[in-house]
């Protein structure tokens, strides 16, 4: 137990230094989201990565729970949002067309009533419209029914930032907040996508979730797409946007630019070739 405590403390100190020091060890990778109706890039999701100078690559499954336990998750969310917006500005200056970037924010971020002002300042600094930023939130946050959270969400929506409900269907889903809150996207949890090929219940549930989203004029995104069979099922069901290793793993900004230039998928109308074999996925 003592060894575990020391390890956690060391990880916390290293993460704090990475956030404050801005030494480049903490960085974002970007995973494309593809519109399978138009064959175009819908947007990208920003995902945090950490390469420690001594410990090497530290997985998000390890450092994000540590950030939550130590109270650094709010700082991490702000850093990710600012870094993603700065990258969007660089892409637009370079003529790289990325419609929107999605950033995962923690519940702690949404408890901050100053979040809308912080985001407005960041977008203004980078000369970006509010529609270029999508904030992903979780069902657990909405189920709190915290007045401060609801006020923050309403303010962000009024400003023009898009809000996406991540991992929909994986928790205690409540349909009441879907009709009362200004959410513009639902993300089908990847556990449903993984079971599409061999589980009729998963297919029925994915179709039902799409129907719920469409009835509320929400864009429904299927994440975790890794095989052409999954893609075909989602296309047949009518899913408009997909994301997963079938198209691309999360990429560094430079790798993403190379992928976008080389990707036949994002330049042609369907039918199209993803350019990735099932074995590679």
The pLDDT of residue 145 is 66
Q: Which residue has the tokens 């979040």?
A: 115
CB 103 within 8 A of CB 134: yes
CB 244 within 8 A of CB 33: no
The pLDDT of residue 246 is 93
Give the N- to C-terminal CA distance of the chain in Å, as an integer: 38
Phi, then psi, of 252 in degrees rounded to 5: -65, 160
Checking if the pLDDT of 121 tops 70, the result is: yes
Q: What is the mean pLDDT of the chain?
A: 86
Checking if the pLDDT of 49 tops 70, the result is: yes
Structure tokens given for 257 = 């630019």
At 227-268, the pLDDT tens digits run 999 999 999 999 999 999 999 999 999 999 999 988 765 554
> How many other C-beta atoms lie within 10 A of the C-beta of residue 229?
14
At 16-44, the pLDDT tens digits run 888 876 667 899 999 999 999 888 999 99
At 184-222, the pLDDT tens digits run 999 998 889 998 988 999 999 999 999 999 999 999 999
Q: CA angle, corner 208, sides to 173 and 45, nearest 5?
A: 65
Structure tokens given for 45 = 């999701």
């Amino acid at each position: 137990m003592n060894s575990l405590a020391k390890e956690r403390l060391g990880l916390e100190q290293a993460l704090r230094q990475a956030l404050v020091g801005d030494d480049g060890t903490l960085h974002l990778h970007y995973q494309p989201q593809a519109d399978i109706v138009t064959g175009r890039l819908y947007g990208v999701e920003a995902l945090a990565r950490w390469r420690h100078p001594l410990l090497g690559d530290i997985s998000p499954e390890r450092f994000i729970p540590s950030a939550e336990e130590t109270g650094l998750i709010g700082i991490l969310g702000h850093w990710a949002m600012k870094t993603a917006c700065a990258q969007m500005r660089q892409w637009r200056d370079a003529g790289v067309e990325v419609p929107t970037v999605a950033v995962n924010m923690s519940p702690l971020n949404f408890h901050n009533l100053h979040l809308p002002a912080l985001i407005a300042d960041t977008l203004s600094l980078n000369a970006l419209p509010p529609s270029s930023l999508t904030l992903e939130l979780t069902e657990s946050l909405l189920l709190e029914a915290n007045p401060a959270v609801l006020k923050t969400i309403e303010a962000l929506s009024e400003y023009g930032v898009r809000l996406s409900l991540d991992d929909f269907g994986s928790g205690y889903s409540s349909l009441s907040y879907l009709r009362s809150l200004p959410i513009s996207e639902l993300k089908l949890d990847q556990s449903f996508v993984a079971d599409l090929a061999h589980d009729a219940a998963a297919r029925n549930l994915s179709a039902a979730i799409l129907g719920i989203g469409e009835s509320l004029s929400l864009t429904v995104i299927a994440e975790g797409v890794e095989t052409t069979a999954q893609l075909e099922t989602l296309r047949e069901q009518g899913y408009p946007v997909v994301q997963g290793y079938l198209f691309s793993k999360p990429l560094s900004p430079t790798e993403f630019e190379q992928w976008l230039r080389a990707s036949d998928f994002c330049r042609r109308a369907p039918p199209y070739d993803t350019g990735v074999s099932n074995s590679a996925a």
